[in-house]
A and B are shown apart, each in its own frame.
Chain A
Amino acid sequence: MYACLHGSGNLTALAFEFSPTVEQTAPDTVTFDVSGLDRLFGLPQDVAAAIARRATETGVQANLALAANPDAAICAARGFANGAASGLRGPHILPQGDEAKYLGSLPLTVLAPSAELQETLERWGIRRFQEMAALPALGIAERLGPEGLRLRQLARGEVERKLAPLEEPPRFADELELDYPLELLEPLLFVLSRLLHGLLTRLATRGLATNELRLALGLENRATHNRTLRLPVPALDGRSFLKLLELDLAAHPPPAPVVNVSLAVNPVKPQAAQHGLFVPQAPEPVKLELTLARIQAIVGEGRVGSPEPLDTHRPGAFRMNSFGRAGQAHSPAGPSPSLPRLALRLFRPPLAARVSIEAGRPGFVAAKGVRGRVVQSAGPWRTAGDWWTSDPWSRDEWDIALSDGALYLIFCEPRGWYVEGSYD
């Protein structure tokens, strides 16, 4: 049994809701196989009623016909299109074997014959299906050739063919309504594992991978807990994804028990890269992401990344970038200093200090873990900035050497003296 929808609206989506075998016969005509739906809905009338109901819900305006072969359904849907003004017109159900009788009153223009053939048929006085169906096959073949013969078969509703199916638009999202609310992470991971496995299998069969996982957890208090995981490169590693989800949910647990789980992935083409034989090794992106997530679970969020000094004179200003995301392999090498540079080791936060001044210079410094007489000093290095903002800074810096030989950077600001760090 085949169904045909002829009209306007998202006919394909409606057809895919009822059958995986859908043919886009014309821009305004969709034919699909409804065999087997009788076991679900019952009689063909019930199948047609179910399609009509769904069409009304989705706002599809079309003429519906059901027949034993696709072309009879198409002819009926197109031919009887001038029915009701809105909603689903029809449905027209053609009983098997009586197609010719049912279609007999339709004009031949429904079959869209060539102009020459139509003119010939006009001259013969053949204008309707029943007149064409009544003509002898041999005579038609002799006078009109194969096209005429095919037109006769269509008019009799006898053409048997297979549909040229459309590929179902891929949808990489799954949802699961839970029977009872989940409070613990472990059972939730079982559910996620199932959804993830299905999605990744779907991606793999289409030769795709994903670089983004979108998780939406419906909660008992009617709120939704959304989490998005982005990967630097597309991958298909289910175990790693599950571990990443686990670590993310452990760091950001849903505030209430979970009653609904929805998982979607972003389908992208997998990345194929040939690494150079002599290029230094680098961490595998998915493994690195997993390692970083694990480390983040230990040390806390925002404490792992690649530092980037900010374009400001404010001492020690930097921001943390995500590591391994932005073209780390392509940044140009900076000039290398001729001799090693003296590195500064900071105290975060700076140590509050008591400093005694002798002849306008620091003479003695005492702070937590730092104490001694200043034997040498350089400064002050006076800096200030951001006075036009709500967070201005102003300080006098001193490089000092204490009696124990250690070198420190201290500074004085309106709030007092601080030890910023040590030169090491």
Chain B
Amino acid sequence: MGAALRQQFESLITPKTLTPKTLAGLFGWRERPLPETVPTGVAELDAALGGLPRGGLTEIFGPPSSGRASLLASILAAATRRGEVCALVDAEDCFHPQSAAAAGVRLDRLLWVRCAHNAEHALKTADLLIQGGGFGLVAMDLGDTPPAVARRISLTSWFRLRRAVEYTPTVLVAVARQSNAKTCASLMLECVRERASWTGATPLLRGIRARVARRKPGHAVTACFQAGYRAEALK
């Protein structure tokens, strides 16, 4: 009797059948439902990456001029267009309202918190905003924070943010030069600058082309997007 059971069990857990789905069926586990996602506002990224998860931490990182701020502005614009109330926790006080408005961000729906070069204040503020509830998107911009300072933010702090945003309809986005949240991030997007476009006999900055690579979850997926500036504005 015992041997038969053992044989049946071993036949079930062969490497081929050992998937989360079969295990869930075998032990009666319930699969965690996939989180609801919201679009980034960049069609190429939405098609390739599938949007940003609600109730999760999305980390966008990359070097300067890699399209991080443009992507963030696009995300904020999409969220405010949906009628959601958004918050931007600006650790280095670097937000430019004019370019955000040009990107389509409805500034009357955006709460801007200027943390005056204090990453610790930014973390506390983001925590308070998430705890307060009601925001569709909370973005924490550490993009100009020196990497050494950003690295000093402990994983515990990131974990607390992740737990705070979990089971809420809020999208938490962190922008930085390097990945800091590590395992606490539900989605990690790495921005890489490809090239800047200059046109005309009298050179004119037309925009940049950036590549966004999904580092987590699952396998790497890459998408490119273009962000235009003066050339489009002068047309």
Contact = CB atoms under 8 A, between A and B. Distances in A.
Interface of A: 279-284, 287-288, 290-292, 294-295, 298-300, 303-309, 316, 318, 320-321, 323-324, 326-329, 331, 333-337, 339-348, 376-378, 399, 401, 405-407, 421-424
B101 to A, nearest CB: 6
A306 B108 contact: yes
A259 to B, nearest CB: 35
Contacts, number: 216
Nearest to A370: B64
A401 B81 CA distance: 33
B114 A303 contact: yes
B51 interface: no
Contacts of B82: 280
B97 to A, nearest CB: 4
A407 B106 CA distance: 26
B134 A421 contact: no
B94 A331 contact: no
A280 B109 CA distance: 12
A291 B132 contact: yes
B212 to A, nearest CB: 11
23 contacts: A280-B83, A287-B133, A291-B132, A292-B111, A303-B114, A305-B112, A306-B111, A308-B108, A309-B107, A318-B98, A336-B41, A337-B102, A340-B74, A342-B227, A342-B229, A343-B70, A343-B100, A344-B69, A345-B64, A346-B96, A407-B205, A421-B94, A422-B65
A347 B103 contact: no
A345 B134 contact: no
B135 interface: yes
A291 B133 CA distance: 10
Contacts of B64: 345, 406, 422, 424
Q: How large, as a class, is the contact surface on chain B?
A: 35 or more
B104 A334 contact: yes
A318 B208 contact: no
Interface of B: 41-42, 63-74, 77, 81-85, 93-104, 106-116, 118, 121, 124-125, 128-129, 131-136, 143-144, 169, 193, 196, 198, 202-205, 207-208, 225-230, 232
Chief secondary structure at chain B's binding surface: mixed
B104 A336 contact: yes
The binding surface of chain A is classed by DSSP as mixed
Contacts of A346: 93-96
A303 B91 CA distance: 11
B112 A377 contact: no
A345 B88 CA distance: 13
Contact of A294 (B68, B95, B128, B143): B128
Nearest to B103: A341
B208 A378 contact: no
A407 B208 contact: yes
A282 B227 contact: no
Given A281-B169, A320-B112, A399-B205, A342 B106 contact: no
B205 A423 contact: yes
